[in-house]
Structure 1
Amino acid sequence: MPNVNSAASAAGPAGFNALGAAEAEAELLACCASRAFARAVAARRPYPDLAGLTAAAGAAVRDLAWPDVQEALAAHPRIGEPPREGGRAAPPSPARIGEPPRDGGRAARETSWSRQEQSGVDTAGRTVLDGLAEGNRAYEERFGHVYLVCATGMTAEEMLSRLRERLRNDDATERDVVRAELARITCLRVAKLLGDAP
């Protein structure tokens, strides 16, 4: 299976449109780990440009059934914790020595993106990190899933403040917030997939 990250990056939407359905779905899973999302977005190809693809990706996330959102959430590490090999995100498929991973590097790419997105915690002090750990536990106990926020460009203090605010949401409100955050993350990752974002 070719590594679409280099193919799609070089050719943009045209490279993505040219992939087979299974390859396109596999690459979209690095952007949002819901199989229903990947099927829906891949099936709507071709996309004329990145804007069309990101609009479709955002709409597909907002249209997901809640179990599909939960599937996507399971791939995200807790805020303030590094992505773990074999942790929440699916590990890469084994490959023979000298061959690229069978997932085309999707798991490694997703881990790298998570680290970039959460880079605001890299300089956080112990008090803030402890607050995030405590907040993550309270959030998961309250809502039954990982706290998800589009952390790109946020400080650890901002992530913690937002977490504490969201703990006051009722279930329906929080599900709406989660969908919006997941859509934002997904759109940013689609741009990264096509090489149009740092």
Structure 2
Amino acid sequence: MSLTLSEFNDLSQEDATAQLLTCCTSTSWAQTLASARPFADIDAMLVANDDAWNKAQTSEANLIEAFDGHPQIGNVDSLKEKYRNTQDSAAHEQSGANDAEDQVLEALAQGNQDYLDKFGFIFIVFATGKSAQQMLDLLLARLPNDRETELANAAAEQNKITRLRIQKLLGAA
């Protein structure tokens, strides 16, 4: 559902929070951003988003809540299904993996499991415009990091994803 900024500003706190939770599943972040209304324009909302996200990420629980809102990339069959179905949806965030070779998808599935096993949360990356190989390369580059570094990396990627989803929610992307 796309809203105008004016419509979003006019929502109740509860409804605005619910709409924001479709962009990022951190309850703390959504409530903080909904409370910052009204916004003069999308840029003001994105600045308020960054502020709300900076507050939310002071708690690891808020970060994990946001990360848990993403589907985990599972086995190779689900990866093939996920990426090849994006051909029907130009707006899909991971469309760069449409034609990924099976080897890359298998390595991506294994890498995602290795990442989850090591850090306790799924690999978060702003996938828009990236091929499966590029996502795999990023995953493999981040896998040697320590957990604190990866929480920060994932938080930064989460905010990029959230900003795009806010723009889509308000028909600005």
Deviating 4+ runs (over 4 angstroms): none
- Residue 63 of structure 1 deviates from its aligned partner by 2.1
Q: Which residue of 1 aligns with 2:103?
A: 127
Count how many residue pairs are aligned between Structure 1 and Structure 2.
160
Taking the aligned partners of 2:55 and 2:123, their CA distance within structure 1 comes to 20
CA-CA distance at 1:144 after TM superposition: 0.3
| Identity %, equivalent residues | 39
- TM-score of the two chains, using structure 2 as the length reference: 0.86
Q: Aligned equivalents of 2:132 and 2:152: distance in 1?
A: 23
In structure 2, the partner of 1:75 is 69
Q: Which has the higher contact order (CA 8 A, sep 6+)?
A: 1
Residue 27 of structure 1 aligns with an amino acid whose one-letter code is Q
Deviation at 1:34, TM superposition (A): 1.0
Local SS of the residue matching 2:92: helix
Alpha-carbon contact 1:62-1:183 (below 8 Å) kept: no
Give the Cα–Cα distance (whole angstroms) in 2 for the partners of residues 152 and 44 of structure 1.
Answer: 28
Deviation at 1:178, TM superposition (A): 0.9
* Unmatched tracts of structure 2, length 5 or more: 83-88
SS at match of 1:148: coil
Higher helix residue share: 2
What SS does the corresponding residue of 2:116 show, helix, strand or coil?
helix
Q: How does 1:2-151 map to 2 (within 5 A)?
A: 5-6=1-2, 8=3, 12-64=4-56, 65-79=59-73, 81=79, 116-151=92-127
* CA distance, structure 2, for counterparts of residue 34 and residue 188 of structure 1: 16
CA separation in 1, counterparts of 2:160 and 2:146? 21
d(CA) in 1 for partners of 2:47, 2:151: 20
Listed as ranges, the gaps of 5+ residues in structure 1 are: 84-111
